[in-house]
Amino acid sequence: MRSEVSIRPTAVAGMFYPASALALTREIEALLAATPPVAANSAVPKALIVPHAGYIYSGSVAASAYAALAPARKCIRRVVLLGPAHRVALSGLALPQATAFATPLGTVFLDAELSAAALALPQVTQSDLAHQQEHSLEVQLPFLQTMLDEFTLLPIIVGEATAQDVAELLDRVWGGPETLIVISSDLSHYHAYSDAQRLDSATARTILTLSPLADFRQACGATPVNGLLSCARKRALVPRLIALRNSGDAAGDMARVVGYGAFAFNENPDHAR
């Protein structure tokens, strides 16, 4: 039995995604139905990079990544979720003090064991303020709730930190096939459509070679992405580009678009750890 449950309520339901459980379920199901089917024997990614805009803009790209989890619905029991701070200036990495996150689809509890392991690191603190209005993590939860059976969560907001700070955390909570890592990040921001295509294609090539991103102009979540890439190099993960689009493809405004990419990282069974 859980005691002293403190719930972080939804902050962007009704803005980034539907506030009604029924409408949200229907939208996610429609987005997933539009993705290519995933074979039941497909390898399950150890990590994903997914965008975090409103579902009308980036939902189809996010769905294409989450569809890859279908064979692991009953296997994945822990999700380590990292995204960049948009609302609050933050030094280091922050967990919430809350013990659960609410969405229209229900409540997701934090993983107490992983939280304790994270908080043992000097770069990790607790801040409800950093999480209070942050959308980069929240928008991922309904997809995870749809694709997985019951799971616990380690939600981390990344502020002023280094890739090594993130990599050290990921190494500590890496786990086995029961643990999924999700990095929430959009790509380029507010370029003309053709310029964004060129910039985001270059960024995708960088990610696929497991090379570090140069700065936040390539991806707003460059720091957590680079932390994952550091671990991926060490652990010989195999990256794969699933989708690469931008808001112009969804909303039609080609003058100032935001780029979205979905990437999967699979463990190499031949790599000796």
Start-to-end CA distance of the chain, whole Å, equals 37
Superfamily of domain 23-151+162-266: LigB-like (3.40.830.10)
What are the domain boundaries of the chain?
23-151+162-266
Q: How far is CA 25 from CA 129, 173, 230, in A?
A: 28, 30, 35
pLDDT, position 271: 61
pLDDT tens for 209-218 read: 999 999 999 9
Q: Do residues 50 and 63 lie in contact, with contact meaning Cβ atoms separated by under 8 Å? A: no
Indicate yes or no: pTM above 0.85. Answer: yes
Which secondary structure element, helix H or strand E, spans residue 82, and what is its range? Answer: strand 78-84
Q: Does residue 208 carry a pLDDT above 90?
A: yes
Q: How many whole angstroms separate alpha carbon 12 and alpha carbon 54?
A: 9
Residue 273's pLDDT is 47
pLDDT digits (tens, 9 = 90+) for 76-107: 999 999 999 998 889 999 999 999 999 999 99
**Higher confidence at residue 237 or residue 42?**
237
C-alpha of 219 from chain center: 13
Q: Which two tokens stand for residue 223?
A: 């720091």
User: Mean pLDDT across the stretch 221-230?
Assistant: 98
Burial environment of residue 249 by CB neighbours within 10 A (0 to 12, 13 to 18, 19 or more) = middle
Q: What are phi and psi of 100, to 5 degrees?
A: -160, 155
| 92-96, 169-173, 244-248, 249-253: least confident range | 249-253
